Chains A and B, each alone.
Chain A
Amino acid sequence: MKKSLVAPQIWHPEEVSEAWSLLKRFGKAARVLAGGTAVQLDWAAGAPVPEHWIDLNRLDDLRGVTELADGGIWIGALTSLSALRHGALIGKKLPMLCDAVGRVGSAGIRNLATLGGNVASGSGCIIPALLALDAEVELFTAKGLVRRNLRALLSSSLTPMEGVVLVAIVVPARLPAKTCFEKMGLRRAFTPSVINAAAGLWFDGAGNVVKARLAIGGGITPPQRLSAAEHSLIGIPLSALDWTSLKRDMLGEMRVPSDAFRSAEYRRNVAANAIIAGLGGGVALDAVAGKASAHCFASIPAFVPVPYSEVEVSRAAMSERWRMRPDVTAKVEGAFTYLTDIRKPDMLVGRVLRAGYPHARILGIDTSEAEALPGVHAVVTHRDVKGLNGYGIVIPDQPAFCADKVRYVGDAVAAIAAESEEIAERALALIRVDYEVLPIVDDAERALAPDAPLVHESGNLLADLGLERGKVDEAFARAAHIVEDVYVTPRQMHAFMETEGGYAEPTPEGGLLVCVAGQHGYRDRMQLARILDVDEECIRIVSSPSGGAFGGKDELTVQPALALLALKAGRPVRLQLDRWESVLAGTKRQPMRIRMRTACDAEGYLIAQEVDAIADGGAYASLGASVVETALEHVTGAYRIPNVRSRGRLAYTNNGFGGAFRGFGCNEMLFAVESQIGRLAEKAGLDPVSFRVRNLRQPGDMGYLGQVVAPSDRGRETLAAAAASDLWARERGVSADGRKVIGVGLAVALQGSGLGSAIGDSGAARLSLAADGKIEAAFGAEEIGQGVLALIQESVARVLGCERDDVRPVIGDTAKTVDSGSTTASRMTYVVWRSASETGPELSAKLLAAAAKEMGKQSEELAIGAGGIYDARRNVPDVPLLSFAALAQSLGEAERPSAECGFAFPISHGTVEGNARFLHCHSAVLARVAVDRVTGMVEVLDLDQHTAAGPVMDVANYSGQIEGGGVQGLGFTLTEDTLIEGGTFTSRNFDSYMVPMIADAPANMRVFAMEELDAGDPYGPRGVGELGISAVSPAVAAAVADAVGIWVVEAPFSPEKILIRTGGMSAPAE
């Protein structure tokens, strides 16, 4: 996080000899700069900025690829990776090298990065490929130009490139006849290397191997040639090779380290598997991974005889309803202003001092030196907090600034406002905090042990919820089939692209303006007023737009620090967390461990469900207990289960802090529930559809908590649509090359919307005719990317009968809107639709009355249309008789019509135990996956979501939410987990936290919608912000099970465990 303040000197040598002299002169104080792409990575990893940079880029002789007289290929060290990748000579002669180069970084990095840089780093991804080609290097040394073998250079005891300038890499003329290269990573592409493996084989005329080069390297694995295995290949043809013994030889000599992401055993095995697969193809793979067996259920599942009507939600299929969002033009122009973009002339820069310890008592904080530093205008600590030193959406136990102790590494202890980033950074280092380190608790279950260190004096048990219904034990006793397992879900990070930030400034009227992206500006204002001990009206919050939120900006983020700094400094202050600080300080999804026991009878009817979930809430409560509550609301998923016992506990630990994240407990619980359902179906001998058909909730059933729920239950219909999908008929089983096994899986979801019955939930809005003739639609809603602006325009335009462009949404500003509630919990679609329905007719009547008066007509003779007021009897398109603008001009400010509404979000009345939702939507999700038998990794080929959430208000945003939620769900399932060890984050940035890249997203994604509501259903469209993530994980789990017969219960799925279970590696010895 902290960067060195050294200002380096940059040298630009014109000759290689000059570069060498500079290197010799400055020794370790110098660093060579070729492409420069590793510089910032090194800083982020904490490396100091060197005093001297020797920029080689003027050495044009070190660029290019040439065929030498002896047939060898000379590659200048400064040749960029993209020049290599797209160069004709390399593509023709060294396709394996071309492939290896293409697996480094991405195009935007390969355009800068050089082959020399990759090799000289000593750990570059390309090195194994060069070793397999038996490459040499040309160096400039004290003796001038020398040529050495790359392997000899790398294995020399000195730091390989110290004191020399790498001039070129030379691939000798005699090329191997057979080669292979593979980069194994943490995700499918643009990934840190788990391990790279390469091979080159040379044959004699009879097809016997005469020379072999097998190599590994990349990432944390030092480059290594596998000499013994190479030797074992000599003198025999590949057809006579014993692949099993080759694998044993390779494993025996690999020296490979472990890290928090992958074990050494896994790395060794996948490297060996890759070399074998690369040299021998599917046959060889069967020899080493022969235990993998497809487990497809025999046929396409049963047809469900339920009528349904669905439409594919896409531009192609719904072109007549496809509209562009109002903020899109500015976003593609680069002209869109985020709150973190704003700069003002007298603006100071803020920084926050974080605890750095996961648990420690604060003995003293001394800010005097920092305050004395010229250019520092404010230093704030807990001493500056006049009001409640705490925030939290449900329980305000998180200090704005810690006073007595810190409970996680990202806890805020102090903050600084200074004239520049450099001064702020220097001042931060001058704050002295004395700590007494305390024992930590870093596991939710251990946190509940009687002797566990206490995170809060109140005890580590934050919530203990649950219910029991029916005769659970009796039902289990008579069960025909029982499945029991423990499901684990990850500490997923929101990873919004715009990190937390913004600015605050005192207003001339003595108030405070705080501009920080959030998810409920009015609640942010309430929490901030409580901290500052001022009236809410003194604070204006601007909380939109946002570069992504997903629940991670629901709680306060940097607002307390900014507010206190701006007030103390009396000037505008800006502050934005860098990515590492965002990882360190920001909220995360609470990891859950869900023990689940589910039973059915001999006919496949569910009879009992027992759930015991424990969640790691981290250091502070926020609304974590509500997440557990929501998880418990979904313990029976979309099914009827008469006998249920559920318990959910939330524990404080020193592991960061947990809170809201899209899905909010529902998708975690459904991963377990739907996996159990799939497994029970197998046991009962039923296909996944038939089993679900007989257990689904029926329309009119009460909700799980005994509450009345809204009509339009589409559980059966979405399932029927998924059952009839063409996806089942696509290729399944072992792929043609034997490397992959393909399976299809199904899962269904029932997802609630709104905050539930336990706490207040209300919506409000105001429509008015603005001076310029626009219909202003004011909502206390946030634009977090989901498209609420388009939703507002569509909803209001529909009710008034005008065009979307006639409507100007005004959102995210407490000075200009009314409190519509939080932009969370899939609730805003309903709020906007309902508000438009309530205020639209009133505004419409007022507009017509005003127009009638102006025009000397009766209201009944007029109607609203595009742009203004028309003759009600018109039967051809034309221009309005009176435009909205002309109408507005004719009226004084006080005469311009407006309409306001306020209402309670629909909840279920009556007494229920727990927090019950009234509105629900449905989905049935199909995933088709390929399990790689070389690596144990899962690739998702297809993802189809059949959804039912009422009318689609905006085609682009509906499909966008489902697709985006779907891929976020794939991240949850396959790659995403914020690693934390001993309360300290191992994941620091996007190089150690694996967000799905495009290669991880399925190439085929379809979204379907059932728009119709039951006759008499007055509740309109339901929000789909969370529906897209709800059932993705269990659909993927079922697809993996279909492919290889294994139900994976821990997300993200461990490739290592899958590889062991499919025979690609041995289980480690106990």
Chain B
Amino acid sequence: MTVVSMTVNGKSVSADVEARTLLVHYIREALGLTGTHVGCDTSQCGACVVHVNGRAVKSCAMLAGQAEGAEVVTVEGLARDGELHPVQKAFREHHGLQCGFCTPGMIMTAVDMIRRKPQLDEQTVRDELEGNICRCTGYHNIVKAILAASEEMR
């Protein structure tokens, strides 16, 4: 077992886990933050995307130990003072989800995308979302939500 420490959603956290523990399991099981989901645990589905040091990563593609000392943000850490992040609001308003299981990964990918590319167009959104599976929606409203959020945040 190894003690792994990092900052998650602004709070310092620490947990004793096995060295092979993936970051996603550290977040879900050790910290109890279940907003981050596991759809495949082989980096195929994108339901587990979180931000590590400001970049969107698939948290099942990373050992918890690799994030030692890092700043991690999960979907639970996006809202500020009870106010939803503009991307969360846009997913709500545009019905960018159905079962909601892929949603946290979609939202975290979108937030990173908008930060890097303030002038988003539809093709860029579609290119950037290439690694996130949504089995319910056909992706249409997800694209609309991200474009609306990007517009809102400009």
A interface residues, Cβ below 8 angstroms from B: 3, 6-10, 33, 35-37, 39-41, 44, 49, 53, 55, 57, 82, 86, 105-109, 111-112, 189-190, 315, 324-325, 327-329, 331-338, 341, 343, 422, 494-499, 545-548, 550, 578-579, 784-787, 956-957, 960, 963-964, 966-968, 989-991, 995, 997-999, 1001, 1003, 1005
Complex-state Cα separation, A3 to B21, whole angstroms: 12
Contacts of A328 in B (CB 8 A): 91-92, 95, 97, 100
Complex-state Cα separation, A86 to B97, whole angstroms: 30
Contact A40 B35 (CB under 8 A): no
B151 within 8 A of A: no
Contact A341 B99 (CB under 8 A): no
Complex-state Cα separation, A325 to B58, whole angstroms: 28
Contact A964 B57 (CB under 8 A): no
Contact A960 B42 (CB under 8 A): no
A-B contact list, 20 entries, CB within 8 Å: A7-B18, A105-B43, A106-B131, A107-B130, A108-B61, A108-B132, A111-B56, A111-B57, A189-B127, A315-B144, A328-B92, A333-B35, A334-B76, A496-B101, A498-B37, A963-B141, A989-B42, A998-B132, A998-B139, A1001-B138
Contact A547 B99 (CB under 8 A): yes
Contact of B126 among A336, A578, A784, A1003 (CB under 8 A): A1003
Contact A107 B75 (CB under 8 A): no
Contact B131 A336 (CB under 8 A): no
Contact B39 A498 (CB under 8 A): yes
Contact B100 A324 (CB under 8 A): no
Contact A7 B20 (CB under 8 A): yes
Per-position contact with A for B122-143: 1 when CB-CB < 8 Å, else 0?
Answer: 1000111111111111111111
Interface size on B, residues (CB 8 A): 80
Contacts of B99 in A (CB 8 A): 496-498, 545-548, 784-785
* Closest CB in chain B relative to A337 CB, distance in Å: 7
Contacts of A325 in B (CB 8 A): 95
CB contacts between A and B, total, < 8 Å: 242
B47 within 8 A of A: yes
12 additional A-B pairs beyond A7-B18, A334-B35, A995-B135, beta carbons within 8 Å, are A33-B66, A40-B41, A40-B43, A106-B132, A109-B43, A315-B95, A328-B92, A332-B97, A334-B78, A547-B100, A997-B133, A999-B126
Contact A189 B130 (CB under 8 A): yes
Complex-state Cα separation, A640 to B50, whole angstroms: 55
The secondary-structure label for the interface of chain A is: loop
B19 within 8 A of A: yes
Contact A331 B131 (CB under 8 A): no
B49 within 8 A of A: yes
- Closest 8 interchain pairs by CB? A106-B131, A334-B35, A785-B99, A334-B75, A331-B100, A990-B44, A547-B101, A785-B98
Contact of B130 among A86, A343, A785, A998 (CB under 8 A): A998
Complex-state Cα separation, A1005 to B122, whole angstroms: 14
B interface residues, Cβ below 8 angstroms from A: 1-2, 18-20, 22, 29, 32-37, 39-47, 49, 55-58, 60-63, 65-66, 74-76, 78-79, 84, 88-89, 91-95, 97-105, 107, 109, 112-113, 116, 122, 126-144
Contact of B20 among A49, A499, A784 (CB under 8 A): A49
Contact A497 B49 (CB under 8 A): no
Contacts of B35 in A (CB 8 A): 333-336
Contact B42 A107 (CB under 8 A): no
* Closest CB in chain B relative to A619 CB, distance in Å: 25
Chain A CB count within 10 A is highest, among B107, B134, B139, for B139
Contact of A964 among B1, B37, B56, B138 (CB under 8 A): B138
- With contacts A44-B41, A990-B44 taken as known, whether A109 is within 8 angstroms of B58 at the C-beta atoms is yes
* Closest CB in chain B relative to A253 CB, distance in Å: 33
* Closest CB in chain A relative to B135 CB, distance in Å: 5
* Closest CB in chain A relative to B84 CB, distance in Å: 7
Contacts of B107 in A (CB 8 A): 332
Contact B101 A332 (CB under 8 A): no
* Closest CB in chain A relative to B129 CB, distance in Å: 5
Complex-state Cα separation, A963 to B100, whole angstroms: 16
- With contacts A497-B102, A989-B42 taken as known, whether A548 is within 8 angstroms of B95 at the C-beta atoms is no
Contact B130 A190 (CB under 8 A): yes
* Closest CB in chain A relative to B73 CB, distance in Å: 11
Contact B44 A333 (CB under 8 A): no
Contacts of B144 in A (CB 8 A): 315
Contact A1005 B140 (CB under 8 A): yes
* Closest CB in chain B relative to A449 CB, distance in Å: 37
Contact B130 A999 (CB under 8 A): yes
Contacts of B134 in A (CB 8 A): 497, 998
Complex-state Cα separation, A334 to B31, whole angstroms: 14
Contacts of B116 in A (CB 8 A): 86
Q: Which residue of B lies closest to A331 (CB)?
A: B100
Contact B92 A332 (CB under 8 A): yes
Contact B19 A990 (CB under 8 A): no
Contacts of A332 in B (CB 8 A): 75, 84, 88-89, 91-92, 97, 100, 103, 107
- With contacts A106-B130, A190-B130, A497-B39 taken as known, whether A324 is within 8 angstroms of B93 at the C-beta atoms is yes
Q: Which residue of B lies closest to A497 (CB)?
A: B101
Q: Which residue of A lies closest to B35 (CB)?
A: A334
Contacts of B66 in A (CB 8 A): 33, 36, 55, 57
Contact A338 B137 (CB under 8 A): no
Contact B44 A107 (CB under 8 A): no
- With contacts A785-B99, A967-B139 taken as known, whether A335 is within 8 angstroms of B76 at the C-beta atoms is yes
* Closest CB in chain B relative to A550 CB, distance in Å: 8
Contacts of B58 in A (CB 8 A): 37, 106, 108-109, 112
* Closest CB in chain B relative to A716 CB, distance in Å: 27
Q: Which residue of B lies closest to A787 (CB)?
A: B98
Complex-state Cα separation, A328 to B136, whole angstroms: 14
Contact of A579 among B40, B63, B84, B102 (CB under 8 A): B40
* Closest CB in chain A relative to B5 CB, distance in Å: 15
* Closest CB in chain B relative to A4 CB, distance in Å: 8
Contact of B131 among A36, A105, A333, A335 (CB under 8 A): A105
Contact A40 B45 (CB under 8 A): no
Contacts of A495 in B (CB 8 A): 133, 135
- With contacts A107-B112, A108-B46 taken as known, whether A1001 is within 8 angstroms of B131 at the C-beta atoms is no
- With contacts A497-B135, A498-B39 taken as known, whether A40 is within 8 angstroms of B19 at the C-beta atoms is no
Contact B49 A108 (CB under 8 A): yes
Q: Which residue of B lies closest to A961 (CB)?
A: B98
Contact B138 A579 (CB under 8 A): no
Q: Which residue of A lies closest to B18 (CB)?
A: A7
Contacts of A86 in B (CB 8 A): 116
Chain B CB count within 10 A is highest, among A325, A496, A964, A999, for A964
Q: Which residue of A lies closest to B63 (CB)?
A: A36
- With contacts A329-B92, A547-B100 taken as known, whether A1003 is within 8 angstroms of B40 at the C-beta atoms is no
Chain B CB count within 10 A is highest, among A105, A107, A957, A967, for A107
Q: Which residue of A lies closest to B39 (CB)?
A: A497
Complex-state Cα separation, A57 to B137, whole angstroms: 38
Complex-state Cα separation, A3 to B113, whole angstroms: 34
Q: Which residue of B lies closest to A547 (CB)?
A: B101
Contact B132 A333 (CB under 8 A): no
- With contacts A108-B46, A332-B97, A990-B45 taken as known, whether A960 is within 8 angstroms of B141 at the C-beta atoms is yes
* Closest CB in chain A relative to B104 CB, distance in Å: 5
Contact of B133 among A546, A785, A995 (CB under 8 A): A995
Contact A40 B22 (CB under 8 A): yes
Contacts of B74 in A (CB 8 A): 334
Complex-state Cα separation, A33 to B141, whole angstroms: 38
Contact B135 A333 (CB under 8 A): no
* Closest CB in chain B relative to A636 CB, distance in Å: 29
Contact B140 A1001 (CB under 8 A): yes
Q: Which residue of B lies closest to A327 (CB)?
A: B100
Contacts of A53 in B (CB 8 A): 19
Contact A37 B61 (CB under 8 A): yes
Contacts of B137 in A (CB 8 A): 960, 963-964, 967
* Closest CB in chain A relative to B54 CB, distance in Å: 10
* Closest CB in chain B relative to A710 CB, distance in Å: 28
Contact B75 A337 (CB under 8 A): no
Contact of B138 among A36, A112, A991, A1005 (CB under 8 A): A1005
